[in-house]
Amino acid sequence: MIPGPAPLFVGSLSVGARTTDLMTLVSSPIRNDLHVWAYIKGVLDALLAGSTDYHSLRPDIWVANHPDHIRTYRKDERRDRADRKQRTREERRNAKG
């Protein structure tokens, strides 16, 4: 039995480091409302071509050169969710008083 919290990675620490790098590579475009596959392909293509300008590969910088890969519908979904939440709160307040 392993004492303490369960380990996040089974195996060596280097596997854990590689896994976190991959998770970061995938989650960064999600947080920046980018098409994940287009971003990862663009970054990997640039790295394989020998690019060492890592700053330009950050999602917030990369999107300036690739505006067609922005998932604009995500902003609409967030706005709709916020509006729905606000309406629900107002309905609850009105039902109380």
**Average pLDDT per block of 10 residues along the chain, 97 residues long:** 55 77 85 92 94 89 91 88 93 85
Amino acid at 66: H
The confidence score (pLDDT) of residue 1 equals 45
Is there a contact between 75 and 32 (Cβ–Cβ < 8 Å)?
A: no
User: Percentages helix, strand, coil for the chain, rounded to the nearest 5?
Assistant: 70, 0, 25
* pLDDT attached to residue 68: 92
Q: CA 35, CA 96: separation in Å to the nearest integer?
A: 43
Q: Are 59 and 29 in contact (CB under 8 A)?
A: yes
Residue 7: predicted pLDDT: 59
Residue 70 has phi, psi (to 5 degrees) of -85, 135
Single pTM value for the model = 0.63
DSSP state of 70: B
